[in-house]
Structure 1
């Protein structure tokens, strides 16, 4: 999965500037048709495994009751039973790595990877939020301590964001929507349409939400990456990473990213403050999911 594109330094810098100023940038036609086809086949196999046995994975639901279930994604596609070689080979694509290193520097560490699809029964309307439960976080310079990126394998118009919101406090109206799990329309919101082969790079502290109608087609991979020595984040290595033979399954680029994450986690034990914050985030997500489950 090598990219043979000749990308100029000016193009890379332009994408980086857009990412810093807007909080996201959509880069067109990074992946070729063969790569998209490989990823799509891998995605279909993963989705089938999750739908056949959702309780065995970190599955995302629009409905999750004793009588009815409906899924819209799964966390950790590097799970031993879900992993496909093509998922890791994304980090072999030169253009992807050029963009990531232009934002974060040359040495990176793994943070996470998920898969997102369209629900079958109940529309997916994700609330306005900044990721990681920290709605007070912003950086006035626009510089980021991480990059998330979405890889659509079919046309995807689910991402809605407020450009530039990663650089400021939320407005009173925005904060009300966050506090109330709101999904209202904002005049300055942007809905991005991604085609297969495009990649959407985003700052997770940009105020954003997702929207997807049940029964439509969606197949999107969602990755997160950080600078190797970044103090923010981390603590996302999972037990399988440390098992004999697990890293041997990964291509060399992914192995280095995961080794850097393991090293960082080992050297930065979770503080009491961080543990409390993680528990708070978990409870906020559980509360939101329970409201969705009860139809609130």
Structure 2
């Protein structure tokens, strides 16, 4: 879909398929700026100078930071952290709180910007060796019985989750429609790294494209170490989320630093919006002892 697609069409596609792609949402100039910031933080993280990382081969948090320089990384966490160098932090913040992203999120969630909550902003990067994630739903474990799985899947959508590609990216593999049903018997018995899951689709993105997807769609990641990858991976919530959503966000440690963010240097009304969204996140709690949605 193009950036001119109507809100109704976006919502219909997300509801039907569990994911929707907005093509060329950001300009070439925007992507050039975001790439510069992404390259800086990726270099620091690979050198062990940014402690918030996702280390190979671990899929779920917590990730052992000590292995960043030995095993390598596949992700960088907390792009909005106050210790991020100012120029890079502003670039990431403008991609997150700006009109393009908040406009897409409010369209998908059928809400107002006054409903939005600041959540996670991370980056997925090229690992040092080929690396794959298991088939999973982000907040529903593999051992949940079908009736509980279906009940969880029918809960109202209280957030948006996306990938914003800065380079060509076809790492995300999904099973369209699986966000609205319990897994089939075949899916339950499949190898966790099954390469040909029935109905699977590899989602191809070009720089500037955004893919929004239901985080409980059946999906996995397949990462090619030879292909450059810098994909901004974010979530934005709605106020009034329940405890399971709070755990899904706060398990990443964002509650430790969210209160220290200062967004006053953002342009125009963006500073006010960012601060309001930050305060709604702080209202969710610190995240102490919330546990983890899934572990490995």
Same fold (TM over 0.5): yes
Q: Are residues 1:264 and 2:277 paired?
A: no
Give the conservation status (yes or no) of the 8 Å contact 2:162–2:211: yes
**Alignment match, 2:61:** none
* Secondary structure, counterpart of 2:284 in structure 1: helix
| 1:43-58 map, 5 Å | 43-53=38-48, 56-58=51-53
1:261 to partner: Cα distance: 0.9
* Secondary structure, counterpart of 1:96 in structure 2: helix
Q: Are residues 1:155 and 2:168 paired?
A: yes
**Alignment match, 1:198:** 209
Higher helix residue share: 1
1:140 to partner: Cα distance: 6.3
Q: Are residues 1:234 and 2:246 paired?
A: yes
Q: Are residues 1:181 and 2:192 paired?
A: yes
1:175 to partner: Cα distance: 2.2
Give the conservation status (yes or no) of the 8 Å contact 2:255–2:285: no
CA gap 1:34/1:174 in 2 versus in 1, 3 angstroms: same
Q: Are residues 1:39 and 2:37 paired?
A: no
| 1:1-296 map, 5 Å | 7=4, 11-53=6-48, 56-62=51-57, 68-82=70-84, 84-104=89-109, 105-106=111-112, 107-120=115-128, 122-135=129-142, 136=144, 137-138=149-150, 144-177=157-190, 181-231=192-242, 232-235=244-247, 236=250, 237-243=254-260, 246-248=262-264, 251-265=271-285, 275=290, 278-279=291-292, 281=294, 284-285=295-296
CA gap 1:133/1:154 in 2 versus in 1, 3 angstroms: same
CA gap 1:58/1:71 in 2 versus in 1, 3 angstroms: closer
* Secondary structure, counterpart of 2:227 in structure 1: coil
TM-score by length of 2: 0.79
TM-score by length of 1: 0.79
Paired positions, count: 266
1:246 to partner: Cα distance: 3.7
* Root mean square deviation, CA, Å: 2.8
Q: In the aligned structure 2, how far is the partner of 1:215 from the partner of 1:260? A: 40
* Secondary structure, counterpart of 1:234 in structure 2: helix
Q: In the aligned structure 2, how far is the partner of 1:65 from the partner of 1:239? A: 22
CA gap 1:206/1:265 in 2 versus in 1, 3 angstroms: same
CA gap 1:142/1:102 in 2 versus in 1, 3 angstroms: farther
1:186 to partner: Cα distance: 1.4
Q: Deviations over 1:26-48 (max 9, x none)?
A: 11111001110110000001101
Give the conservation status (yes or no) of the 8 Å contact 1:110–1:258: yes
Unaligned ranges ≥5, structure 1: 286-296
* Secondary structure, counterpart of 2:56 in structure 1: strand
CA gap 1:142/1:29 in 2 versus in 1, 3 angstroms: farther
Q: In the aligned structure 2, how far is the partner of 1:164 from the partner of 1:93? A: 30
Q: In the aligned structure 2, how far is the partner of 1:69 from the partner of 1:208? A: 24
